[in-house]
């Protein structure tokens, strides 16, 4: 059952709704969230917005900040954001998306990881307006009696609707009983915090919905849920992950962060703008129009790289990173190189290397890309699907093959 707005839907409410939906995968139920926003606007009472993260590793990469960015956007609208550190749930281990039981962490591991989590998150969130909580506050006092009472409010049948549990049960893969406790405890966090909205990645949808169910069971108005996409890494294909080596760490040096951001494809740049940039959507749309009109995409990508580098370092270090990148990009280029004019933009990197006589065939060019042996304007090409638009580029294959190509 969805709520009917009892308060006026003003322009400010519609703006808040647009901010909420920017880049999101799902916002459920939208009508309920619109009603909550309208009530908050009319009464002046901020909404409580929750994000829970288990400190399963000591570092956060750029992909993790997608949901933090959404929190910051909602925080800037005046709402209360709750950064919840799952020190209790980490001891259970989140089974989301896994086909095996996840080993629980020790208390020592959790405490060590939690020390750095919020320090890194505060590079995105406004620390003065952030409520920091640990779910052991209310989970530890539950005890055995409270845990049994909580478990009685959710059925095994509903739990088995979850894809990973269903698939593992069907395949005969063991499911430990304690794994059922994870979504229950995450849902109970929403009860304890009386949250109005919970954020998470698309892989967290089931857990977020459990929170809605349990709030209703405890007589609370159910929270809405907002899921954000999982950001692709530098290869433009796989989810950003340290294990895949396609990540940008928040702790990367500014020069490295800037260079990595410039290495993403022109196509993937727009997804990074939507999910990582705080620029207005109208401004991003204007960039697309400019590029369609002939502007070099690299100029726009530099703006993105500087914005992100500035956020996690400083404006001065972002400027220095750009200068360092340009210096390195030009430093290894011979004084005399082939100058070519090639038509057919946009053109794939493999086809362009062949047309510039830097590779014998498109397939050979793509093998060179896969081996990280190709650079465009000094930046290593990580995406074999890269397409270059109208502009002038310095192409480099290996250490000795160069060409300055004007693509039209």
DSSP string over 33-70: HHHHHHHHHHH-PPPEEEEEE---SS--BGGGHHHHHH
* Domains of the chain as residue ranges with CATH: 11-228 (3.40.50.620), 235-331 (1.10.240.10), 335-408 (3.10.290.10)
Helix (H) or strand (E) holding 198: strand 197-201
With tokens 């992950």, the residue in question is: 241
- 148: CB partners within 8 A, 6+ apart: none
pLDDT at residue 60 in the model: 79
pLDDT at residue 377 in the model: 82
Is 8 in a helix, a strand, or coil? coil
Q: Is the dihedral of CA 307, 312, 315, 317 positive or negative?
A: negative
User: Could you give the C-alpha distances from 121 to 67, 190, 333, in angstroms and in order?
Assistant: 10, 20, 39
With tokens 């209790």, the residue in question is: 88
pLDDT at residue 217 in the model: 94
- The two three-digit tokens of residue 298, written as one number: 């690299």
pLDDT at residue 1 in the model: 47
pLDDT at residue 408 in the model: 83
- The two three-digit tokens of residue 359, written as one number: 């590779």
Contact 61, 247 (CB under 8 A): yes
Whole-model pTM: value is 0.73
| DSSP conformation class of 249 | B
CB atoms within 10 A of CB 196: 25
- The two three-digit tokens of residue 128, written as one number: 């003065």
pLDDT at residue 152 in the model: 85
Low-confidence ranges of the chain (pLDDT < 70): 1-5, 57-58, 93-104, 162, 166, 329-332, 335
pLDDT at residue 5 in the model: 53
pLDDT per residue over 329-343, tens digit each? Answer: 665 677 678 888 999
């Amino acid at each position: 059952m969805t709520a009917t707005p009892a308060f006026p839907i003003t322009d400010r409410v519609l703006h808040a709704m647009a901010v909420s939906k920017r880049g999101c995968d799902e916002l459920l139920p939208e009508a309920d969230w619109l009603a909550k926003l309208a009530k908050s606007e009319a009464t002046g009472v901020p909404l409580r917005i929750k994000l829970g993260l288990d400190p399963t590793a000591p570092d956060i990469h750029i992909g993790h900040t997608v949901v933090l960015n959404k929190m910051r956007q909602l925080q800037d609208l005046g709402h209360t954001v709750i950064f919840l550190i799952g020190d209790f749930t980490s001891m259970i281990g989140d089974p989301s998306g896994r086909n095996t039981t996840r080993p629980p962490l020790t208390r020592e591991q959790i405490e060590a990881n939690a020390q750095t989590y919020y320090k890194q998150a505060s590079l995105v969130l406004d620390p003065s307006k952030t409520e920091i909580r640990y779910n052991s506050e209310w989970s530890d006092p539950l005890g055995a009696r409270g845990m049994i009472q909580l478990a009685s409010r959710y059925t095994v049948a509903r739990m088995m609707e979850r894809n990973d549990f269903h698939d593992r049960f069907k395949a005969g893969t063991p499911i430990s009983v304690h794994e059922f406790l994870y979504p229950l405890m995450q849902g109970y966090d929403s009860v304890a915090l009386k949250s109005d909205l919970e954020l998470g990645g698309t892989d967290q949808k089931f857990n977020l919905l459990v929170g809605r169910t349990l709030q209703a069971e405890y007589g609370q108005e159910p929270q809405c849920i907002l899921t954000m996409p999982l950001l692709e890494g530098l290869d433009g294909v796989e989810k950003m992950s340290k294990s895949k080596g396609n990540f940008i760490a928040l702790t990367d040096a500014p020069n490295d962060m800037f260079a990595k951001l410039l290495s993403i494809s022109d196509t993937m740049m727009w997804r990074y703008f939507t999910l990582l940039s705080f620029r207005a959507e109208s401004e991003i749309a204007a960039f697309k129009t400019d590029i369609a009109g002939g502007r070099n995409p690299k100029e726009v990508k530099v703006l993105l790289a500087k914005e992100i580098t500035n956020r996690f370092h400083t404006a001065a270090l972002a400027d220095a990173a750009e200068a360092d990148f340009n210096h390195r990009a030009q430093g290894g280029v011979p004084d005399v190189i082939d100058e070519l004019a090639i038509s057919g933009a946009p053109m794939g990197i493999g086809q362009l290397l062949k047309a510039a006589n830097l590779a014998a065939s498109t397939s050979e060019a793509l093998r060179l890309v896969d081996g990280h042996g190709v650079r465009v304007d000094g930046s290593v090409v990580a995406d074999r699907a890269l397409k270059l638009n109208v502009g002038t580029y310095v192409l480099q294959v290996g250490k000795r093959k160069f060409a300055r190509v004007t693509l039209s």
